[in-house]
Structure 1
């Protein structure tokens, strides 16, 4: 009887352990479709916990500090080489997973993760300007909207506090190249940003409702986020600065010190399924990089200006990239001046 009880107890403990599978995801705020997580949990039995962050720098600092408890993170392309270089990511080999065949070839041999040994596409998009056309009837495809704003918009502008995005727009506005170390260009960038700030209401994240309710009228924003604003307020438009704008892709990576490695890899494989990738896009309103997902996407995404870049402005987009450390120090000094 003792043996039988012991065996039954061991079996019960084993079953409990099997049911206790979990996954801790560290992702940008308001960026993960609850339907996607519900489906993943239902199909795998893995319990998911999501913790939000508001910037690439926040996520990087948190994970480098250790003791975080996360398994998965979703960095932007320009930061992935930093994560890899710091030894923070596991080489989880998405390229050997069952659903990797669904990744659009355009997104396979990328500069930031050649052959996709570490990361899986999550979403990609652009950084441009958002404008409420009720209060502005001029050209929306220009960074002058926040760098040299018209009287009608002053005091109602918000600029997302993402250094790389804002610095890049300002550099391109002045005819420079991304990651430039040209002192003349950078002086113009610094002076322009500092002077323009007096006309901004704030530098905050999470402004969807403020734009929808018209507490804010213009600013720097991402395309998918602006799409979601327009769905609540039809006067809102997204502009692609003709002086140049940046492109980015966020990708899902497994952390080197992940406790739930198999579960993390299962999630990477799961989101490379076209129907699941479409769920990601349906919520946050960005393109995803997975072939066949279009068939499952909302109809309004197939023609939206926020998703389909106007042909005449396609070549004005530039993918962000890591800058040399010395150049990055200059950018940080400019950014610090802007925060004063």
Structure 2
């Protein structure tokens, strides 16, 4: 207790010398569910004397709808790459200039000049990963590294599959299986896409983001999901195996951004800088299991098996993950019609 008190006093003294590190007030964060380490938030609160409140969402579309409606009350949101580009285009984000922040030097070079925010004027990395699917290989012994698992389902897995309730992940996976372009507007290809999804749907059990519960309860034997999520499933179900389908892999990065007109703008900027510290980035990955885009963070990981795990490290013979830019409004409209019909 005495050591803890002395440490706290020391931290306060250091903060006093640092000047800007002494903050106060509030910060309101809107992030994906089950995605934020409480220890990270506690550390930020104690470092800057800022009270953080959090709400969560289950899709970029849910978050974007709320933000577009206005007066959300949030300072920070955590959109995926393509959504960042959309939000910048619509004037929904503050230009916080992360590239000028103290900890920006820690961002991995490949994540500086990114298509969604070239040079990082609005966003900083939160976590990145891939989207394929996880199979319980105790229930299925065949080849899992193919999207045929989802779209030409083997007899052993029919009715045992959960798909993400995510229009883009489902659509783009089907396009990869068909060998047609992502976001293409060719009517013949869009018909092939619709036909494939309608054919596959009877072999699926559910559409849900609650992938861990689905797999761990035994409700399904396959779930479309993300690599960090699959890592967390495997900690409790050792036979859960993440697939690297030969037809292609979805890549993505979630990013911390600040909403235009954020009430707690300076605290939001502090948070952006805070998570670019390798020790803090490691806390993010410790909780959710994804890589984070910050140099030297792996050495601080609490789980020594995480950095070398098969979910995080892409096999040399697997396709390079593809980051898909936003589709045109015309294609989005057609996607929405296909999706609405699929979800009936």
* TM-score interval (norm. to shorter): over 0.9
Residue 19 (structure 1) shift: 8.3
Indicate if the aligned counterparts of 1:129 and 1:145 stay in contact, CA closer than 8 A: no
Q: Which runs of 5+ in 2 are unaligned?
A: 1-21
The correspondence for 1:190, drawn from 187, 194, 202, is 194
Contact 1:123-1:286 within 8 A present in 2 as well: yes
- Mapping 1:100-249, distance limit 5 Å: 100-249=104-253
Which consecutive aligned stretches of 4+ in structure 1 deviate over 6 angstroms post-superposition? none
Q: CA deviation at 1:20?
A: 5.8
Cα distance per residue 1:133-160 (max 9 Å; x no partner)? 1111111111111111111111121001
Deviates more, 1:91-100 or 1:175-184: 175-184
Of the structure 1 ranges 203-212 and 304-313, higher mean CA displacement relative to structure 2 is found in: 203-212
Q: Is the 8 A contact 1:145 1:219 kept in 2?
A: no
Deviation for aligned residue 1:87: 0.9
TM-superposition CA deviations, 1:5-56 (whole Å, max 9, x none): xxxxxxxxxxxxx986110000000000111111111111111111000000
Show CA shifts across 1:119-146 (max 9, x none). Answer: 0000000110111111111111111111
Q: 1:197 offset after TM fit, Å?
A: 1.1
Aligned to 2:57: 53
After TM superposition, give the deviation of residue 204 of structure 1 in Å: 0.9
1:76/1:248 contact within 8 Å kept: yes
What does residue 313 of structure 1 align with?
A: 318
TM-score normalized by the length of structure 1: 0.92
5 Å-filtered alignment, 1:32-51, equals 32-51=36-55
3-state SS of paired residue (2:318): helix
What is the Cα-based RMSD across aligned positions, in Å? Answer: 1.2
Secondary structure of the structure 2 residue equivalent to 1:62? helix
Shift of residue 209, structure 1, vs aligned partner: 2.3
Match of 1:283 among 267, 280, 287: 287
Q: Which residue of the partner structure matches residue 89 of structure 2?
A: 85
Matched, 1:304 2:309: yes
Structure-1 residue corresponding to 2:296: 292
Aligned residues: 322
Q: Aligned partners of 1:221 and 1:82: how far apart in 2?
A: 24
Partner of 1:7: none
Deviation at 1:207, TM superposition (A): 2.4
- The TM-score with structure 2 as length reference comes to 0.91
Whether the 8 Å contact between 2:249 and 2:319 is mirrored in structure 1 is no
Structure 1 unaligned regions, length at least 5:
1-17
